[in-house]
Structure 1
Amino acid sequence: MKKSLILLLMMATFVAFPNTVMATEKAPMHTTTPAAPEIPAEVKVMLNRLEEIKAMDKSTLSSSEKKELRKEVRKIKKDVRASGNGLYISSGAIIIILLLIIIL
């Protein structure tokens, strides 16, 4: 009984969720990628400086110089994130907006 029930459930899943992989001779769809947004010049300068710091040989630097480099890297990363010009909405705000739309 148990084996037949499991077999029946397996067959039902095979029927309900068919594998849709099919070998066809159709030409593949070509998609175009959108152009990358223009990066401001000041951000490019900051990113170039980060690359310079990564490429440095830090084994010859003193601990205070390494500390200054770490501070500079943190500051640059913070500034790059701040210049992202993104719009961030919290999940609570989205829920409230959706409730207002539904109610009104």
Structure 2
Amino acid sequence: MKKLMYVLSFFVMVFAFEVEASAASNKKVKEELSPEQKERLSEIEVRVEEIKAMDFSEMSKEERKEVKNELKDMKVEAKQMGGGVYLSVGAIIIILLLLILLT
């Protein structure tokens, strides 16, 4: 049983480093944004700078909450424009372990 665990852990480590190395070598070229998306991103940047310059001590609790929600929405929108799905090394290892254990 111990020998089996050593062999499985060895293979998991080998595959984890192999996946990481191949991911580093296959860098994707980022797609260009359309002019509308570039304009929207610049609007978001300007609005964020305006919010950073605000004095929050003079605002009511509701106003601060609205600004916070606006920032969250803009962050989600900016991430959607950037696109992409990223998996961490830990997630890849867990997926590999599950595949090994389930087969």
Could you say which TM-score interval applies, normalised by the shorter chain?
0.3 to 0.5
- TM-score normalized by the length of structure 1: 0.46
| TM-score, scaled to structure 2 | 0.46
Which of the pair has the greater relative contact order for Cα pairs under 8 Å at 6+ separation?
Answer: 2
Greater radius of gyration (CA):
1
